[in-house]
Structure 1
Protein backbone atom coordinates (compact mmCIF):
# COMPACT_ATOMS: atom_id res chain seq x y z
CA UNK A 1 0.00 0.00 0.00
CA UNK A 2 1.31 3.44 -0.88
CA UNK A 3 1.99 6.01 1.81
CA UNK A 4 -0.66 8.59 2.63
CA UNK A 5 -0.62 12.26 3.53
CA UNK A 6 -2.07 13.53 6.80
CA UNK A 7 -3.64 16.98 6.31
CA UNK A 8 -3.22 19.70 8.91
CA UNK A 9 -6.21 19.55 11.31
CA UNK A 10 -8.65 22.47 11.38
CA UNK A 11 -7.57 23.33 14.94
CA UNK A 12 -4.16 24.36 13.57
CA UNK A 13 -5.46 26.57 10.75
CA UNK A 14 -5.88 29.85 12.60
CA UNK A 15 -9.39 30.55 13.88
CA UNK A 16 -8.04 30.59 17.45
CA UNK A 17 -4.74 29.91 19.23
CA UNK A 18 -3.63 26.28 19.10
CA UNK A 19 -3.94 24.80 22.60
CA UNK A 20 -0.73 22.94 23.47
CA UNK A 21 0.26 21.05 26.62
CA UNK A 22 3.95 20.21 27.02
CA UNK A 23 4.98 17.52 29.50
CA UNK A 24 8.61 17.86 30.51
CA UNK A 25 11.04 20.78 30.54
CA UNK A 26 14.33 18.89 30.86
CA UNK A 27 16.82 17.55 28.33
CA UNK A 28 14.57 17.42 25.27
CA UNK A 29 11.82 19.68 26.60
CA UNK A 30 14.04 22.68 27.26
CA UNK A 31 15.44 22.46 23.72
CA UNK A 32 12.07 21.90 22.08
CA UNK A 33 10.37 24.73 23.96
CA UNK A 34 12.83 27.29 22.64
CA UNK A 35 12.09 26.18 19.08
CA UNK A 36 8.36 26.10 19.78
CA UNK A 37 8.51 29.71 20.94
CA UNK A 38 10.28 30.73 17.74
CA UNK A 39 7.68 28.84 15.69
CA UNK A 40 4.94 30.65 17.62
CA UNK A 41 6.50 33.99 16.66
CA UNK A 42 6.84 32.88 13.03
CA UNK A 43 3.19 31.92 12.58
CA UNK A 44 2.00 35.07 14.39
CA UNK A 45 4.01 37.14 11.91
CA UNK A 46 1.96 35.49 9.15
CA UNK A 47 -1.38 36.39 10.71
CA UNK A 48 -1.99 33.23 12.73
CA UNK A 49 -3.30 33.74 16.31
CA UNK A 50 -0.43 31.63 17.62
CA UNK A 51 -0.24 29.10 20.41
CA UNK A 52 -1.62 28.89 23.93
CA UNK A 53 1.03 26.76 25.64
CA UNK A 54 1.10 25.28 29.15
CA UNK A 55 4.29 23.57 30.34
CA UNK A 56 4.11 20.84 33.00
CA UNK A 57 7.13 19.71 35.03
CA UNK A 58 7.48 19.10 38.77
CA UNK A 59 11.30 18.99 38.71
CA UNK A 60 13.76 21.61 39.89
CA UNK A 61 17.10 22.41 38.31
CA UNK A 62 20.03 20.34 39.58
CA UNK A 63 23.75 21.05 39.04
CA UNK A 64 23.95 18.11 36.59
CA UNK A 65 21.40 19.83 34.33
CA UNK A 66 23.65 22.82 33.63
CA UNK A 67 25.44 22.31 30.31
CA UNK A 68 22.98 19.71 29.00
CA UNK A 69 19.71 21.59 29.45
CA UNK A 70 18.85 25.27 29.00
CA UNK A 71 19.69 26.32 32.54
CA UNK A 72 22.54 28.13 34.29
CA UNK A 73 24.16 27.72 37.71
CA UNK A 74 21.96 30.44 39.21
CA UNK A 75 18.90 28.36 38.30
CA UNK A 76 19.79 25.45 40.58
CA UNK A 77 16.93 24.72 42.97
CA UNK A 78 14.27 26.56 41.00
CA UNK A 79 11.37 24.94 39.07
CA UNK A 80 12.28 24.13 35.47
CA UNK A 81 8.84 24.90 34.01
CA UNK A 82 8.57 28.30 35.69
CA UNK A 83 12.06 29.39 34.66
CA UNK A 84 11.69 28.42 31.00
CA UNK A 85 8.22 29.89 30.56
CA UNK A 86 9.21 33.16 32.25
CA UNK A 87 12.25 33.55 29.99
CA UNK A 88 10.49 32.60 26.77
CA UNK A 89 7.59 34.93 27.52
CA UNK A 90 9.96 37.81 28.18
CA UNK A 91 12.25 37.12 25.21
CA UNK A 92 9.55 36.50 22.60
CA UNK A 93 6.64 38.52 24.03
CA UNK A 94 4.44 35.48 24.63
CA UNK A 95 1.87 34.64 27.29
CA UNK A 96 2.56 30.98 28.03
CA UNK A 97 1.88 29.41 31.44
CA UNK A 98 3.72 26.95 33.69
CA UNK A 99 2.45 24.24 36.01
CA UNK A 100 4.96 22.94 38.57
CA UNK A 101 3.50 19.43 38.58
CA UNK A 102 3.44 16.34 36.41
CA UNK A 103 0.89 16.14 33.65
CA UNK A 104 -1.89 13.73 34.53
CA UNK A 105 -2.42 10.73 32.18
CA UNK A 106 -5.90 12.21 31.63
CA UNK A 107 -4.59 15.48 30.14
CA UNK A 108 -6.47 18.79 29.91
CA UNK A 109 -8.37 19.56 26.74
CA UNK A 110 -5.86 20.54 24.08
CA UNK A 111 -5.17 20.29 20.36
CA UNK A 112 -1.63 19.00 20.79
CA UNK A 113 0.09 17.18 23.63
CA UNK A 114 3.88 17.20 23.43
CA UNK A 115 5.61 14.60 25.59
CA UNK A 116 9.25 15.21 26.46
CA UNK A 117 9.38 12.59 29.21
CA UNK A 118 11.63 9.54 28.94
CA UNK A 119 9.82 7.70 31.73
CA UNK A 120 8.30 4.64 30.13
CA UNK A 121 5.62 4.16 32.78
CA UNK A 122 4.25 7.66 32.12
CA UNK A 123 4.11 7.17 28.35
CA UNK A 124 2.50 3.77 28.86
CA UNK A 125 -0.11 5.20 31.25
CA UNK A 126 -0.85 8.10 28.90
CA UNK A 127 -1.37 5.83 25.91
CA UNK A 128 -3.38 3.22 27.78
CA UNK A 129 -5.62 5.80 29.49
CA UNK A 130 -6.56 7.51 26.23
CA UNK A 131 -6.51 4.62 23.74
CA UNK A 132 -10.30 4.38 23.43
CA UNK A 133 -11.13 8.00 24.23
CA UNK A 134 -12.72 9.84 21.32
CA UNK A 135 -10.55 12.92 20.80
CA UNK A 136 -8.87 14.72 17.93
CA UNK A 137 -5.89 15.64 20.13
CA UNK A 138 -2.53 14.92 18.53
CA UNK A 139 0.28 13.44 20.64
CA UNK A 140 3.85 14.37 19.73
CA UNK A 141 5.98 11.98 21.76
CA UNK A 142 9.75 12.24 22.05
CA UNK A 143 11.90 9.70 23.83
CA UNK A 144 15.57 8.85 23.86
CA UNK A 145 18.21 6.57 25.27
CA UNK A 146 21.95 7.06 25.42
CA UNK A 147 22.49 7.53 21.67
CA UNK A 148 19.16 6.75 20.03
CA UNK A 149 15.79 8.47 20.01
CA UNK A 150 12.43 8.56 18.34
CA UNK A 151 9.65 11.06 17.76
CA UNK A 152 6.07 10.23 16.77
CA UNK A 153 3.32 12.70 15.90
CA UNK A 154 0.14 10.67 16.19
CA UNK A 155 -3.34 10.59 17.68
CA UNK A 156 -3.70 10.44 21.45
CA UNK A 157 -7.02 8.58 21.26
CA UNK A 158 -9.61 7.85 18.60
CA UNK A 159 -10.26 10.80 16.24
CA UNK A 160 -13.77 11.79 15.21
CA UNK A 161 -13.01 11.09 11.55
CA UNK A 162 -10.26 10.13 9.13
CA UNK A 163 -7.27 7.83 9.40
CA UNK A 164 -5.93 7.30 12.92
CA UNK A 165 -2.17 7.73 13.27
CA UNK A 166 -0.85 5.13 15.75
CA UNK A 167 1.10 6.46 18.71
CA UNK A 168 4.06 5.22 20.72
CA UNK A 169 1.83 3.09 22.97
CA UNK A 170 0.22 1.40 19.96
CA UNK A 171 3.62 0.48 18.59
CA UNK A 172 5.45 -0.51 21.78
CA UNK A 173 2.77 -1.32 24.37
CA UNK A 174 4.13 -2.92 27.54
CA UNK A 175 7.69 -2.65 26.21
CA UNK A 176 7.52 1.00 27.34
CA UNK A 177 7.64 -0.25 30.92
CA UNK A 178 11.21 -1.56 30.57
CA UNK A 179 14.45 0.40 30.83
CA UNK A 180 13.44 3.18 33.23
CA UNK A 181 16.61 2.72 35.32
CA UNK A 182 18.46 4.93 32.83
CA UNK A 183 16.18 7.83 33.76
CA UNK A 184 17.48 8.05 37.33
CA UNK A 185 18.99 11.45 38.23
CA UNK A 186 22.71 11.91 37.67
CA UNK A 187 24.90 13.32 40.41
CA UNK A 188 27.01 15.36 37.99
CA UNK A 189 27.10 16.55 34.41
CA UNK A 190 30.03 14.20 33.76
CA UNK A 191 27.96 11.22 34.93
CA UNK A 192 24.99 12.34 32.84
CA UNK A 193 27.14 12.63 29.72
CA UNK A 194 28.67 9.22 30.35
CA UNK A 195 25.18 7.75 30.22
CA UNK A 196 23.69 9.87 27.45
CA UNK A 197 25.24 11.59 24.43
CA UNK A 198 25.15 15.40 24.66
CA UNK A 199 23.70 15.82 21.16
CA UNK A 200 20.78 13.38 21.37
CA UNK A 201 18.32 15.80 23.02
CA UNK A 202 18.73 18.73 20.60
CA UNK A 203 18.71 16.28 17.68
CA UNK A 204 15.34 14.71 18.53
CA UNK A 205 13.89 18.10 19.49
CA UNK A 206 14.71 19.36 15.99
CA UNK A 207 13.07 16.32 14.39
CA UNK A 208 9.91 17.01 16.40
CA UNK A 209 9.93 20.70 15.47
CA UNK A 210 10.32 19.82 11.80
CA UNK A 211 7.04 17.90 11.91
CA UNK A 212 5.31 20.85 13.58
CA UNK A 213 6.75 23.14 10.91
CA UNK A 214 5.17 20.87 8.29
CA UNK A 215 1.79 21.08 10.01
CA UNK A 216 1.82 24.87 10.18
CA UNK A 217 3.60 25.71 6.94
CA UNK A 218 3.19 22.81 4.51
CA UNK A 219 -0.41 21.79 5.02
CA UNK A 220 0.25 18.38 6.55
CA UNK A 221 2.59 15.45 7.01
CA UNK A 222 4.04 12.90 4.61
CA UNK A 223 5.82 11.17 7.49
CA UNK A 224 4.71 11.24 11.12
CA UNK A 225 7.83 10.21 12.94
CA UNK A 226 11.48 9.28 12.81
CA UNK A 227 14.09 7.12 14.48
CA UNK A 228 17.39 8.87 15.19
CA UNK A 229 20.71 7.12 15.73
CA UNK A 230 23.97 8.92 16.46
CA UNK A 231 26.52 6.19 15.70
CA UNK A 232 26.46 6.16 12.75
CA UNK A 233 24.36 9.30 12.34
CA UNK A 234 21.06 8.15 10.83
CA UNK A 235 17.55 9.57 10.66
CA UNK A 236 14.94 7.08 9.45
CA UNK A 237 11.50 8.53 8.77
CA UNK A 238 8.23 6.72 9.42
CA UNK A 239 5.76 7.00 6.51
CA UNK A 240 2.02 7.28 7.00
CA UNK A 241 1.50 3.75 5.76
CA UNK A 242 -0.42 0.89 7.46
CA UNK A 243 2.00 -1.62 5.90
CA UNK A 244 4.93 0.14 7.59
CA UNK A 245 3.05 0.25 10.89
CA UNK A 246 2.40 -3.49 10.63
CA UNK A 247 6.16 -4.05 10.36
CA UNK A 248 6.49 -2.23 13.70
CA UNK A 249 3.86 -4.49 15.25
CA UNK A 250 0.73 -2.36 14.90
CA UNK A 251 -2.11 -4.34 13.35
CA UNK A 252 -5.25 -2.29 14.07
CA UNK A 253 -4.79 -0.05 11.04
CA UNK A 254 -6.80 -0.70 7.86
CA UNK A 255 -4.91 -2.67 5.23
CA UNK A 256 -6.81 -1.38 2.19
Structure 2
Protein backbone atom coordinates (compact mmCIF):
# COMPACT_ATOMS: atom_id res chain seq x y z
CA UNK A 1 0.00 0.00 0.00
CA UNK A 2 1.02 3.59 -0.51
CA UNK A 3 2.79 4.98 2.56
CA UNK A 4 0.39 7.90 2.67
CA UNK A 5 -2.37 5.50 3.68
CA UNK A 6 -0.43 4.05 6.56
CA UNK A 7 1.11 7.16 8.11
CA UNK A 8 -0.83 10.19 6.88
CA UNK A 9 -0.58 13.60 8.47
CA UNK A 10 -4.28 14.23 7.80
CA UNK A 11 -7.42 12.12 7.27
CA UNK A 12 -7.35 10.17 4.00
CA UNK A 13 -9.84 11.65 1.53
CA UNK A 14 -12.37 9.17 0.13
CA UNK A 15 -14.91 9.90 -2.61
CA UNK A 16 -17.97 7.65 -2.29
CA UNK A 17 -20.03 7.87 -5.47
CA UNK A 18 -23.58 6.63 -5.10
CA UNK A 19 -25.88 6.70 -2.05
CA UNK A 20 -28.28 3.97 -3.14
CA UNK A 21 -28.88 0.49 -1.80
CA UNK A 22 -25.18 -0.41 -1.71
CA UNK A 23 -23.64 3.04 -1.23
CA UNK A 24 -25.69 3.79 1.88
CA UNK A 25 -24.37 0.64 3.58
CA UNK A 26 -20.83 1.34 2.38
CA UNK A 27 -21.03 4.79 3.99
CA UNK A 28 -21.84 3.26 7.37
CA UNK A 29 -19.01 0.75 6.98
CA UNK A 30 -16.58 3.58 6.16
CA UNK A 31 -17.66 5.47 9.28
CA UNK A 32 -16.97 2.41 11.42
CA UNK A 33 -13.62 1.93 9.71
CA UNK A 34 -12.67 5.55 10.33
CA UNK A 35 -13.67 5.27 13.98
CA UNK A 36 -11.51 2.15 14.34
CA UNK A 37 -8.54 3.93 12.77
CA UNK A 38 -8.98 6.87 15.14
CA UNK A 39 -8.90 4.49 18.09
CA UNK A 40 -5.58 3.20 16.74
CA UNK A 41 -4.09 6.73 16.58
CA UNK A 42 -4.61 7.09 12.82
CA UNK A 43 -6.23 10.29 11.45
CA UNK A 44 -8.96 8.20 9.82
CA UNK A 45 -10.99 9.14 6.78
CA UNK A 46 -12.67 12.19 5.32
CA UNK A 47 -15.52 11.12 3.04
CA UNK A 48 -17.40 13.05 0.36
CA UNK A 49 -20.66 11.38 -0.69
CA UNK A 50 -21.87 12.15 -4.23
CA UNK A 51 -25.50 11.58 -5.21
CA UNK A 52 -28.07 13.83 -6.87
CA UNK A 53 -31.15 11.69 -6.11
CA UNK A 54 -34.02 12.51 -3.79
CA UNK A 55 -35.42 10.02 -1.29
CA UNK A 56 -38.55 8.24 -2.48
CA UNK A 57 -40.83 6.08 -0.38
CA UNK A 58 -39.75 3.02 -2.37
CA UNK A 59 -36.13 3.58 -1.23
CA UNK A 60 -37.07 2.63 2.32
CA UNK A 61 -37.02 -1.05 1.41
CA UNK A 62 -33.21 -1.14 1.13
CA UNK A 63 -32.15 2.02 2.95
CA UNK A 64 -32.86 3.24 6.47
CA UNK A 65 -34.93 6.33 5.73
CA UNK A 66 -37.96 7.54 7.65
CA UNK A 67 -41.22 8.67 6.09
CA UNK A 68 -40.39 12.24 7.13
CA UNK A 69 -37.21 12.14 5.03
CA UNK A 70 -39.00 11.39 1.75
CA UNK A 71 -38.26 14.19 -0.73
CA UNK A 72 -34.93 15.17 0.83
CA UNK A 73 -31.50 14.65 -0.73
CA UNK A 74 -30.15 11.13 -0.11
CA UNK A 75 -26.55 12.22 0.29
CA UNK A 76 -27.35 15.08 2.69
CA UNK A 77 -29.56 12.94 4.95
CA UNK A 78 -27.04 10.10 5.14
CA UNK A 79 -24.03 12.35 5.75
CA UNK A 80 -25.83 14.36 8.45
CA UNK A 81 -26.73 11.11 10.20
CA UNK A 82 -23.14 9.84 10.12
CA UNK A 83 -21.72 13.17 11.26
CA UNK A 84 -24.06 13.28 14.26
CA UNK A 85 -23.36 9.67 15.23
CA UNK A 86 -19.56 9.80 14.97
CA UNK A 87 -18.78 13.50 15.49
CA UNK A 88 -17.43 13.89 11.95
CA UNK A 89 -17.40 16.65 9.35
CA UNK A 90 -17.91 14.58 6.21
CA UNK A 91 -19.45 16.28 3.18
CA UNK A 92 -22.46 15.62 0.97
CA UNK A 93 -22.30 16.68 -2.67
CA UNK A 94 -25.83 16.73 -4.07
CA UNK A 95 -24.69 16.49 -7.67
CA UNK A 96 -23.78 13.69 -10.04
CA UNK A 97 -20.07 12.86 -10.17
CA UNK A 98 -19.34 13.31 -13.86
CA UNK A 99 -17.05 15.13 -16.27
CA UNK A 100 -19.17 18.28 -16.18
CA UNK A 101 -18.94 18.59 -12.39
CA UNK A 102 -15.19 17.88 -12.34
CA UNK A 103 -14.55 20.38 -15.14
CA UNK A 104 -16.30 23.05 -13.05
CA UNK A 105 -14.80 21.94 -9.71
CA UNK A 106 -11.66 19.86 -10.40
CA UNK A 107 -10.68 19.66 -6.74
CA UNK A 108 -13.63 17.33 -6.12
CA UNK A 109 -11.78 14.57 -8.00
CA UNK A 110 -8.85 14.82 -5.58
CA UNK A 111 -9.29 11.81 -3.32
CA UNK A 112 -6.74 9.07 -2.72
CA UNK A 113 -9.51 6.45 -2.63
CA UNK A 114 -12.59 6.45 -4.86
CA UNK A 115 -15.42 4.05 -4.02
CA UNK A 116 -18.20 3.54 -6.55
CA UNK A 117 -21.63 2.03 -6.02
CA UNK A 118 -23.36 3.01 -9.26
CA UNK A 119 -25.78 1.11 -11.47
CA UNK A 120 -24.59 2.36 -14.85
CA UNK A 121 -21.79 0.97 -16.99
CA UNK A 122 -21.38 4.32 -18.75
CA UNK A 123 -20.91 6.01 -15.38
CA UNK A 124 -18.11 3.59 -14.51
CA UNK A 125 -16.26 4.27 -17.75
CA UNK A 126 -16.67 8.01 -17.26
CA UNK A 127 -15.37 7.75 -13.68
CA UNK A 128 -12.38 5.72 -14.92
CA UNK A 129 -11.50 8.49 -17.40
CA UNK A 130 -11.83 11.15 -14.68
CA UNK A 131 -9.55 9.24 -12.31
CA UNK A 132 -6.88 8.65 -14.96
CA UNK A 133 -6.93 12.25 -16.17
CA UNK A 134 -6.80 13.62 -12.64
CA UNK A 135 -3.90 11.33 -11.68
CA UNK A 136 -1.95 12.35 -14.79
CA UNK A 137 -2.36 16.03 -13.97
CA UNK A 138 -1.77 15.82 -10.22
CA UNK A 139 0.37 12.76 -9.51
CA UNK A 140 2.76 14.89 -7.46
CA UNK A 141 0.02 16.35 -5.20
CA UNK A 142 -1.39 15.02 -1.95
CA UNK A 143 -4.75 13.28 -2.32
CA UNK A 144 -4.32 12.53 -6.01
CA UNK A 145 -6.36 9.43 -7.01
CA UNK A 146 -4.51 6.16 -6.34
CA UNK A 147 -7.13 3.49 -5.56
CA UNK A 148 -10.58 2.66 -6.95
CA UNK A 149 -12.92 0.21 -5.17
CA UNK A 150 -15.98 -0.67 -7.26
CA UNK A 151 -19.17 -2.41 -6.07
CA UNK A 152 -21.60 -3.98 -8.52
CA UNK A 153 -24.46 -6.44 -8.24
CA UNK A 154 -27.30 -8.20 -9.98
CA UNK A 155 -30.26 -9.99 -8.44
CA UNK A 156 -28.50 -12.49 -6.17
CA UNK A 157 -24.85 -11.96 -6.98
CA UNK A 158 -22.26 -9.23 -7.19
CA UNK A 159 -18.61 -8.34 -7.15
CA UNK A 160 -16.21 -5.96 -5.46
CA UNK A 161 -12.98 -5.12 -7.29
CA UNK A 162 -10.04 -2.96 -6.22
CA UNK A 163 -7.97 -1.21 -8.91
CA UNK A 164 -5.08 1.20 -8.81
CA UNK A 165 -5.00 4.49 -10.67
CA UNK A 166 -1.55 4.26 -12.19
CA UNK A 167 1.39 2.61 -10.44
CA UNK A 168 1.95 2.42 -6.69
CA UNK A 169 5.62 2.38 -5.71
CA UNK A 170 6.49 -1.01 -4.23
CA UNK A 171 9.25 -1.89 -1.76
CA UNK A 172 11.95 -4.35 -2.67
CA UNK A 173 10.99 -7.76 -1.32
CA UNK A 174 12.61 -11.17 -1.34
CA UNK A 175 9.50 -12.75 0.15
CA UNK A 176 6.79 -11.44 -2.19
CA UNK A 177 6.44 -10.77 -5.89
CA UNK A 178 4.90 -7.31 -5.72
CA UNK A 179 2.50 -5.67 -8.18
CA UNK A 180 2.73 -1.94 -8.80
CA UNK A 181 -0.65 -1.75 -10.53
CA UNK A 182 -4.02 -3.51 -10.54
CA UNK A 183 -6.05 -3.24 -13.73
CA UNK A 184 -9.18 -1.14 -13.66
CA UNK A 185 -12.43 -3.08 -13.66
CA UNK A 186 -13.41 -1.25 -16.86
CA UNK A 187 -10.32 -2.72 -18.57
CA UNK A 188 -10.32 -6.16 -16.98
CA UNK A 189 -14.04 -7.01 -16.88
CA UNK A 190 -15.81 -4.85 -19.50
CA UNK A 191 -17.96 -7.75 -20.69
CA UNK A 192 -19.08 -8.52 -17.15
CA UNK A 193 -20.15 -4.91 -16.64
CA UNK A 194 -22.01 -4.75 -19.93
CA UNK A 195 -23.72 -8.08 -19.35
CA UNK A 196 -24.88 -6.91 -15.96
CA UNK A 197 -26.35 -3.74 -17.42
CA UNK A 198 -28.27 -5.65 -20.08
CA UNK A 199 -29.71 -7.94 -17.42
CA UNK A 200 -30.77 -5.06 -15.19
CA UNK A 201 -31.67 -2.62 -17.95
CA UNK A 202 -34.01 0.07 -16.72
CA UNK A 203 -33.60 -1.00 -13.10
CA UNK A 204 -32.34 1.27 -10.36
CA UNK A 205 -30.66 -0.60 -7.50
CA UNK A 206 -32.54 1.54 -4.98
CA UNK A 207 -36.06 0.65 -6.18
CA UNK A 208 -38.24 -1.81 -4.40
CA UNK A 209 -39.63 -2.91 -7.73
CA UNK A 210 -38.20 -5.63 -6.89
CA UNK A 211 -37.67 -8.34 -4.95
CA UNK A 212 -38.21 -10.22 -8.18
CA UNK A 213 -35.20 -8.47 -9.71
CA UNK A 214 -32.93 -7.88 -6.73
CA UNK A 215 -32.70 -9.66 -3.40
CA UNK A 216 -33.44 -7.61 -0.30
CA UNK A 217 -30.03 -8.17 1.32
CA UNK A 218 -27.64 -8.32 -1.64
CA UNK A 219 -26.50 -4.71 -1.15
CA UNK A 220 -25.65 -4.97 2.55
CA UNK A 221 -24.02 -8.38 2.13
CA UNK A 222 -21.57 -6.86 -0.38
CA UNK A 223 -20.88 -3.61 1.47
CA UNK A 224 -19.16 -4.84 4.62
CA UNK A 225 -16.90 -7.51 3.09
CA UNK A 226 -16.02 -4.92 0.43
CA UNK A 227 -14.93 -2.32 2.96
CA UNK A 228 -12.97 -5.10 4.69
CA UNK A 229 -10.57 -4.77 1.75
CA UNK A 230 -9.88 -1.19 2.78
CA UNK A 231 -9.49 -2.22 6.40
CA UNK A 232 -6.79 -4.71 5.42
CA UNK A 233 -5.05 -2.02 3.37
CA UNK A 234 -4.81 0.24 6.41
CA UNK A 235 -4.13 -2.42 9.04
CA UNK A 236 -1.84 -4.82 7.21
CA UNK A 237 -0.23 -2.65 4.53
CA UNK A 238 -0.52 -5.30 1.80
CA UNK A 239 -3.13 -7.41 0.04
CA UNK A 240 -3.21 -10.90 -1.39
CA UNK A 241 -6.78 -10.55 -2.72
CA UNK A 242 -8.10 -7.50 -4.56
CA UNK A 243 -11.78 -8.32 -4.32
CA UNK A 244 -14.29 -11.12 -4.66
CA UNK A 245 -17.26 -12.49 -6.54
CA UNK A 246 -20.29 -13.23 -4.38
CA UNK A 247 -23.39 -15.38 -4.79
CA UNK A 248 -25.99 -14.81 -2.09
CA UNK A 249 -28.29 -17.62 -3.27
CA UNK A 250 -25.63 -20.29 -2.72
CA UNK A 251 -23.67 -18.42 -0.02
CA UNK A 252 -20.50 -18.64 -2.10
CA UNK A 253 -17.58 -16.22 -2.15
CA UNK A 254 -14.77 -16.49 -4.69
CA UNK A 255 -11.72 -14.31 -3.89
CA UNK A 256 -10.05 -12.40 -6.73
CA UNK A 257 -6.36 -13.11 -6.19
CA UNK A 258 -3.53 -10.73 -7.01
CA UNK A 259 -1.34 -12.64 -9.45
Q: Any stretches of 5+ residues in structure 1 without a counterpart?
A: 1-7, 242-256
Match among 247, 253, 257 for residue 229 of structure 1: 247
Q: 1:49 to 1:188 in 2, by over 3 A?
A: closer
- Which residue matches 1:51? 45
- Which residue matches 1:60? 54
- The root-mean-square deviation of aligned C-alpha atoms, in Å, is 2.1
- Which residue matches 1:216? 234
Match among 158, 165, 171 for residue 166 of structure 2: 158
CA distance in 2, matches of 1:187, 1:16: 33
CA distance in 2, matches of 1:186, 1:103: 17
The answer to whether the Cα contact below 8 Å between 1:23 and 1:103 also exists between their aligned partners in 2 is yes
- Which residue matches 1:17? 11
Q: CA deviation at 1:48?
A: 0.8
The answer to whether the Cα contact below 8 Å between 1:186 and 1:192 also exists between their aligned partners in 2 is no
How far does the alpha carbon of each residue in 1:11-40 deviate from its partner, in whole angstroms, 9 at most, with x for none? 211322101101001100101111110111
1:145 aligns to 2:154 (yes or no): yes
TM-score by length of 2: 0.82
CA distance in 1, matches of 2:246, 2:168: 31
CA distance in 2, matches of 1:85, 1:199: 22
The answer to whether the Cα contact below 8 Å between 2:21 and 2:205 also exists between their aligned partners in 1 is no
The answer to whether the Cα contact below 8 Å between 1:56 and 1:81 also exists between their aligned partners in 2 is yes
Q: Any stretches of 5+ residues in structure 2 without a counterpart?
A: 103-107, 140-144, 171-179
Which moved further from structure 2: 109-118 or 125-134?
125-134
